[in-house]
């Protein structure tokens, strides 16, 4: 029986194969999930590169990137943000459509991330590549820790991360409301409180990967239907996007102190 994951994409009943198919020749495999995960990452990278190229032009004389097409880039970012949210919710509630909606989510999310990364690059040159490398580094580190059983997804650990993730989501919602009234919390600044908060959030996001790996492994072991490969890849991508944004935010806080 499945244990719960703090990633809302995964739940106890998501991989119940008897609920979808009895054809054991069309079941979820680890290789299939890995291939689809890499395919969706490639979609994100290609899509993000389009927004990036539309956003920045390299000034060879000054050796810096300069912002261009602000209106176009802002529009693409909004399309990616809103469209990505819609695609994500459709995928969650209609997981059998994941083979279509998950790639759409990846492409739209790439549009948003490409624009966001371009704006960050303008302010902090070289920071984006560091964030990308750290994100993939954390991913492979967590995968190794899971495979070697250095970090075990016990019931207590899972429950703790679920509570922590929910608390972070609630805190961000309250923070957004306060920002609308001009209230800026210390957690948003580059002081010790702000940096410490970001470090904690990055750690929680990274631990979500451990739980996601567990859900994928359980899905394969229990013979989940084939389309769940796309759904599982979608869940992993959601966590990776969150991790990248949080790492980017942490690096910006650190860089702004210099």
Judged against a pLDDT cut of 80, whether residue 156 lies above it is answered with yes
236 has a pLDDT exceeding 90: yes
What's the domain count of the chain?
A: 1
Q: Is 6 a domain residue?
A: no
Residue 84, domain extent: 21-256
How much is the pTM? Answer: 0.87
Answer yes or no: is 56 within a domain: yes
Kindly tell me if the per-residue pLDDT of 107 is higher than 60.
yes
pLDDT at 5: 47
Cα–Cα distance, 255 to 258 (Å, whole number):
6
For the chain, what is the mean pLDDT? Answer: 87
Q: What is the mean pLDDT of residues 197-210?
A: 96
37 vs 67, more confident: 37
Does 158 fall in a domain? yes
Query: What CA–CA distance (Å, rounded) separates 249 from 255?
Result: 10
Tell me, yes or no, whether 3 lies in a domain. no
Residue 66 lies in a domain: yes
Q: Is 16 a member of any domain?
A: no
Calculate what percentage of the chain has a pLDDT beyond 90: 64
| pLDDT tier, 10 (very low <50, low <70, confident <90, very high otherwise) | low
* pLDDT tens for each residue of 108-138: 999 999 999 988 988 898 899 999 999 999 9
pLDDT digits (tens, 9 = 90+) for 81-91: 999 999 999 99
What's the pLDDT at 18?
46
Assess if residue 7 is contained within a domain: no
Kindly provide the b/e burial profile for residues 129-146, where b requires at least 16 CB atoms within 10 angstroms of the residue's own CB.
eebbebbeebbeebeebb
Q: Report pLDDT digits (tens) over 182-192.
A: 999 999 999 99
Residues 6+ apart with CB under 8 A from 237: 37, 40, 41, 44, 102, 105, 106, 109
What are phi and psi for residue 57, nearest 5 degrees? -130, 135
pLDDT-derived band at 55, boundaries 50, 70, 90: confident
Domain assignment of residue 8, yes or no? no
pLDDT in tens, 16-53: 544 444 455 588 999 999 999 999 999 999 999 998 88
Q: Is the pLDDT confidence value at 4 over 50?
A: no
């Amino acid at each position: 029986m499945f244990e719960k994951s703090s990633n809302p994409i995964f739940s106890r009943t998501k991989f119940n194969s008897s609920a979808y198919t009895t054809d054991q020749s069309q079941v979820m495999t680890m290789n299939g999930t890995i291939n689809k995960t890499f395919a969706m990452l490639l979609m994100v990278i290609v899509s993000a590169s389009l927004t990036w190229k539309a956003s920045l032009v390299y000034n060879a004389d000054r050796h810096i990137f300069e912002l261009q097409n602000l209106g176009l880039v802002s529009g693409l970012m909004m399309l990616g943000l809103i469209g990505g949210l819609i695609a994500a919710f459709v995928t969650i509630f209609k997981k059998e459509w994941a083979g279509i909606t998950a790639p759409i989510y990846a492409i739209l999310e790439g549009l948003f991330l490409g624009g966001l990364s371009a704006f960050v690059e303008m302010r902090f040159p070289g920071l984006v590549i560091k964030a990308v490398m750290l994100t993939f580094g954390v991913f492979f580190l967590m995968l190794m820790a899971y495979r070697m059983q250095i970090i075990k997804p016990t019931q207590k650990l899972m429950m703790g991360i679920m509570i922590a993730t929910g608390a972070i989501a609630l805190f961000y919602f309250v923070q957004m409301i306060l920002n609308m009234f001009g209230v800026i919390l210390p957690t948003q600044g580059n002081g010790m409180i702000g940096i410490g908060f970001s470090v904690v959030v990055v750690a929680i996001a990274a631990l979500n990967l451990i739980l996601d790996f567990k859900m994928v492994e359980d899905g394969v072991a229990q013979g989940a239907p084939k389309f769940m490969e796309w759904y599982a890849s979608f869940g992993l991508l959601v966590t990776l996007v969150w991790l990248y944004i949080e790492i980017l935010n942490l690096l910006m806080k650190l860089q702004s102190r210099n």
